[in-house]
Structure 1
């Protein structure tokens, strides 16, 4: 599962056990898939990441720095129940009419569940700055040497269009944050949505570089225990219609959540900046 916009998925298998799923309603299937993908656990990790990000915003943008009031606001914005409700709703809407049986057949069996557990565990581990730096260093070496595993991860990234989709998601989130600042009255007079958009686009190269670094370091670490056969199956499924539909639904759901969170953070920063000026 990916940080910037959402998880990524894949695998090929025979659909032998589908009659059991066929008796479920569409909502029940979507809920079962939501759980099988480990999305509740991943959202808990994203909340922890968000609280850390809130500390960074306070240090960089608030005149008074971090405070109990700011921490409480950030905690409310990253309310995991609200995050889960929003992602679940959009996820379900995006999957209407898609082949949920093919998705469920993999993620409720092995190696699907192992893959999900690896993704969640890796995401939790990356909360430690030392682990994150070590992961980036290891990925840089693998990229330089073009190891066979790096080439497989590269194929996985390409099949799921992970760099471009995550870059677009990050740009949109940054723009939403700017709009929160503007609408909240924290930006100087004359700073318009158009100027904000220009500034966001100016960050594209840096965002693209950071995104690629994070994606490869995360995937290489998360999938290291997988055999080549398991990883190849994951790549193959991502190229199927079901895999593409699932990946698109996840990105849409998580991008919507991140945009809302970013705008709320921008409005929150505005409120604190203005109150401290007064």
Structure 2
């Protein structure tokens, strides 16, 4: 699961291509797989989190100068059809053979798979609330203090899926896109070279990695609280399979496309308000 937040505000305290209007076609077996993993619910969560976090940028970047106009811009940016189109465009369907897609669909359509999806989506939506995230962090710290063996299972689960690296790279890509969007939008006196943006972004990597690890384990303890150790072992076994590895990498690619594209557009739009030239 990719953390659906914008971390770019920690780096820096319209123009651009037209918004995507429709999603490109995907195969029926791919669409069945995405339905089994709750992609529409995931898009709704990303929309809700994006609108909230996007509106919050006003306080950090152009206090008191956004108002209803900025809220309207953010609402238009985070249209569900737009996010869905970017996910479909970024989803590497060519890597996902039909038989693998069928395996993934079968797993997540099983009783265990449906419970996994429900737990992940419920936890993801809940933890976008800061108070819930803080409480989940405390649960994680308590498990650490008690050396709870559940964490050993989550260590294996996180490692086999490469969750830390996937999430860290996703955040770095989103931050890079956000700053590039601000630069292209005229937020600075002169455009910032991409290599300078990249250097600035990579300086935040240790902090993002630490924050990502905390978030991942806090989220997973919530998401899989109702699973027995044996059921979590079954999920790990699926993750280790060829189908599980493809599921993880292809879905992350789709998420990364969404967050990178939306971060660029958000930064680009914010630049117009920072310079007093919103359209």
TM tier, shorter chain?
0.7 to 0.9
Q: Counterpart in 2 of 1:77?
A: 77
SS of match in other structure, 1:272 = helix
Q: Counterpart in 2 of 1:11?
A: none
Matches within 5 A, 1:201-220: 201-220=202-221
Matches within 5 A, 1:63-142: 63-91=63-91, 93-97=93-97, 99-142=100-143
Matches within 5 A, 1:129-278: 129-189=130-190, 191-275=192-276
Q: Distance in 1 between matches of 2:248 and 2:48?
A: 23
Give yes or no for contact 1:95–1:246 (8 Å, CA) kept in 2.
no
Deviation at 1:35, TM superposition (A): 0.7
How many residues in Structure 1 have an aligned counterpart in Structure 2? Answer: 257
Q: Counterpart in 2 of 1:17?
A: none
Deviations 1:118-171 (A, max 9, x none): 111111211332211100111122123321111111110001010011101110
> After alignment, is 142-151 or 102-111 more displaced?
142-151
Give yes or no for contact 1:173–1:258 (8 Å, CA) kept in 2.
yes
SS of match in other structure, 2:275 = helix
Give yes or no for contact 1:94–1:249 (8 Å, CA) kept in 2.
no
TM-score, length-scaled by structure 1: 0.87
Unpaired runs of 5+ residues, structure 1, are 6-25
SS of match in other structure, 2:97 = coil
Give yes or no for contact 1:181–1:270 (8 Å, CA) kept in 2.
yes
Q: Distance in 2 between matches of 1:57 and 1:94?
A: 37
Q: Counterpart in 2 of 1:42?
A: 42
Give yes or no for contact 1:4–1:170 (8 Å, CA) kept in 2.
no
Q: Counterpart in 1 of 2:16?
A: none
SS of match in other structure, 1:275 = coil
Deviation at 1:94, TM superposition (A): 4.7
- Cα RMSD of the aligned pairs, angstroms, is 1.8
Give yes or no for contact 2:2–2:255 (8 Å, CA) kept in 1.
no
Give yes or no for contact 2:30–2:93 (8 Å, CA) kept in 1.
no
Q: Counterpart in 1 of 2:62?
A: 62
Superposed structure 1 runs of 4+ greater than 6 Å apart: none
Deviation at 1:180, TM superposition (A): 0.4
Give yes or no for contact 1:59–1:65 (8 Å, CA) kept in 2.
no
Give yes or no for contact 2:33–2:102 (8 Å, CA) kept in 1.
no
Q: Distance in 2 between matches of 1:145 and 1:215?
A: 18
Deviation at 1:89, TM superposition (A): 4.0
Deviation at 1:4, TM superposition (A): 4.7
Q: Counterpart in 2 of 1:27?
A: 27
Deviation at 1:101, TM superposition (A): 1.8
Give yes or no for contact 1:142–1:150 (8 Å, CA) kept in 2.
yes
SS of match in other structure, 1:224 = coil
